[in-house]
Amino acid sequence: MATKVNHRYVDLLRKFIDHLERRDDGNGWVLISRPSYETTNIHKGSLKSRPKKGMKQMFKVFAEWNEMGDDDLDIEIEYFLKKYLKD
C-alpha cells in the first residue's frame, strides 16, 4: 500500500526551501549536487631555490555541478516525506 503524502507538508517544505534560497536578496543558499572538479598544476614540482627571474605558475580549476530544479525538488520532498512518515 502506497503512503499518501499530506499536501500541507509538501507546501511547508517547499516554502522552507524558498526561505533558505532567498533568491531575491542575494543572501540565501543554492541547493546543488556534489561538485565534480579537476585541478591541474602545470609546474608539478617546486624549485629547490628561487629562480633568477620571476616565473609564472599556473593552477587551473574546473568545477561542475547541477542546481536543483523544481521537478527535482518535488521528487526529493515526496521521497523524504514517504520515508519520514513511514510507520
What does the pLDDT look like over 29-77, one tens digit per residue?
A: 988 888 887 777 666 566 788 888 888 777 788 888 899 999 999 999 9
Q: How confident is the model at residue 18 (pLDDT cuts 50, 70, 90)?
A: very high
Location of C-alpha cell 519520514: 84
Report field, pTM of the whole predicted structure over 0.75: no
Q: Which of 59, 61, 43 is nearest to 51 (CA)?
A: 43
Whether the predicted pLDDT of 1 surpasses 70: no
Considering only residues 28 and 45, tell me which one the structure prediction assigns the higher pLDDT.
Answer: 28
Contact 63, 28 (CB under 8 A): no
Counting runs of H as helices and runs of E as strands, what totals does the chain give? Answer: 2, 2
Rounded to an integer, the average pLDDT of 19-23 is: 92
Contact 60, 39 (CB under 8 A): yes
